[in-house]
Structure 1
Amino acid sequence: MKLFAAYLFALCLTLPAMAAELKVDLGHGVVTYRSEVLLQRRDVRTISVPGDVAFHRTMHYRAVPLAALLEGTGPGDHLQFVAGDGFAAEIPAALLLNTQGSTAWLAIEDPAQPWPAVPGHGNAGPFYVVWTQPQAAHVGPEQWPYQLASIRKSSGVTERFPAILPDASLPADSDVQRGFAAFQRTCFACHTLNGQGDARLGPDLNIPHNPTEYLRADLLRAFIRNPQSLRQWPQAKMPGFDTQALPDADLDAVLAYLRHMAGRKRGG
């Protein structure tokens, strides 16, 4: 039995690493891209990404321009990027197709040369959306989904999840409405609200209790900036949002939105 187990172990060491698959559905059927094929494309490049969101340092990737995989997508479309860990980023196609200087890339992990682990999160592969010059289009940290498994075109967030909408009578420039916009950029990729949303990484932020109902405002602000400041937990997955990712005015607006939604519970 020991000899057989040793044989199987040796066999596994000699087998080539398995190629990963990315599912893309733009409304006319699912297209499957294999990592080994993507790495052989004529438009694959080696790119450098300073200040990479996942690794917090300069990283080098083999990548293809993401727009090349989104043919037929228009600026008015909406795309959802779903990761293997339950993260679900909602990104308007206009940002991905922008001409403001930022470029979105699909970084592809070579099975023979795996990326290092992301501290506290495991491997970032097999696919990772990275950006060059992200500041030019104000790309936020939640718009860098890694462990990517699928991309699909869908209707917008407000159409699919009406229970997350604030009171429609509030003016567009109100703190609550601005907070709702910031919530979609920074929180909705990991959390649901009123039971609605596709993310499965973090808890619901309104039912049964909204965090503004059980945390003082100063503690909640500190927690969003640095989750370990409230509860030290090595396995915690929530990243902190610094003032570059979430300016103070946007953080105040998010809290205004959450306080508002505490009075609009549905599905609890």
Structure 2
Amino acid sequence: MKYILAFLTLLLTLPASAAQLTIELDHASKTWQTADLLKHPDVRTVQIINDVSYKRQMTYRAVPLAVLLPGLTPQNHVQAVALDGFAAELSAGPLLERTGAQAWLAVEDPAHPWPKLGDDKPSAGPFYLVWTDPQAGHISPEQWPFQMSAIKQLKTVAERFPALLPDPELAPDDPINQGFALFQKNCMACHRLNGAGDAQVGPDLNIPYSPTEYFGGDFLKRYIRDPQSLRHWPQAKMPAFAASVLPDSELDLLVGYLKHMAGRKQ
């Protein structure tokens, strides 16, 4: 028995294993190993003042994401896929910026693993998309995917999932279409709607019912602001969306889109 315990103790003290990240672009595909990224000529030590996942200051070895996405243009669209099924939909434009809000691929060193995200939870590794000066680009928490395993260039959300589209008669700048853009940015990483989407974390937001149909008054907005204030349980995963991340005006647009789609069930 003592030998088994000794072996288990040894396993727990071993460093995290190396990992790989696959980047699939239309014109190229490459799989990066942890060691290769840590030796990348552009790797830097970056300090994140207010890390979204760790809720404190963190320091990482990281590579500017733009250098890992050769040939992409700001009009392109990518999806960051996490090990747990989280699928963040990301416009390429912000990822390619070299000034202001800048995207970095933080790489977990197996010899120096990052802290756990909580009790009985892993770290944010092996790969984590972090941002320096995020307020300059109005970067939302859903644009900080962690435990990433792949980055894929895809068609836009509207092209891939027509079931998400508002009434085509609406003008492009209609508030409902503005709300649709916010839904893509803030909700699609965890939720589907009308069965459409790639996320596997949260429930569908229209089938069988839209939350606008069962949350009365302003309770839906309060729930989005702070889910734990209305439904408190330890296993809850939905983050709070503070006004600094999702201003009241944008929250109104998002809820407007959800109300509109409640009449467009598929």
Q: How many residues align?
A: 265
Q: Kindly provide the CA deviation profile for residues 212-260 of structure 1, in whole angstroms up to 9, marking residues without a partner as x.
A: 1111131111110000111111110000000011110111111111111
Instruction: State the 1:147 CA deviation.
Output: 0.9
SS class of match (1:235)? coil
Q: What does 1:69-80 align with in structure 2 at a 5 Å threshold?
A: 69-80=68-79
Instruction: State the 1:175 CA deviation.
Output: 2.3
- In 1, distance between residues paired with 2:213 and 2:14? 54
Structure 2 match to 1:176: 176
TM-score for the superposition, normalised by structure 1: 0.93
Instruction: State the 1:173 CA deviation.
Output: 3.1
Structure 2 match to 1:260: 260
TM-score for the superposition, normalised by structure 2: 0.93
- In 2, distance between residues paired with 1:13 and 1:212? 46
8 Å contact kept, 2:34–2:109: yes
- In 2, distance between residues paired with 1:92 and 1:245? 17
8 Å contact kept, 2:16–2:113: no
Amino acid at match of 2:111: A
Further displaced range: 201-210 or 139-148:
139-148
Structure 2 match to 1:206: 206
Instruction: State the 1:35 CA deviation.
Output: 1.0
Q: Percent identity?
A: 54
Answering whether residue 74 of structure 2 is matched by residue 84 of structure 1, we say no
8 Å contact kept, 2:106–2:130: yes
8 Å contact kept, 1:129–1:144: yes
SS class of match (1:158)? helix
- In 2, distance between residues paired with 1:148 and 1:228? 26
Structure 1 match to 2:137: 137
SS class of match (1:232)? coil
- In 1, distance between residues paired with 2:130 and 2:232? 29
Amino acid at match of 1:34: Q
Answering whether residue 108 of structure 2 is matched by residue 109 of structure 1, we say yes
Structure 2 residues not aligned, in runs of 5+: none
- In 2, distance between residues paired with 1:4 and 1:140? 49
Structure 2 match to 1:189: 189
Displacement over 4 Å in runs of 4+: 13-16
Further displaced range: 252-261 or 32-41:
32-41
- In 1, distance between residues paired with 2:114 and 2:14? 19
Amino acid at match of 2:170: L
Structure 2 match to 1:224: 224
Amino acid at match of 2:36: V
Structure 2 match to 1:250: 250
8 Å contact kept, 1:100–1:137: no
Q: Kindly provide the CA deviation profile for residues 107-126 of structure 1, in whole angstroms up to 9, marking residues without a partner as x.
A: 01111221112247642111
Q: Kindly provide the CA deviation profile for residues 129-184 of structure 1, in whole angstroms up to 9, marking residues without a partner as x.
A: 00111122222221111111100101100000000000011123332111111111
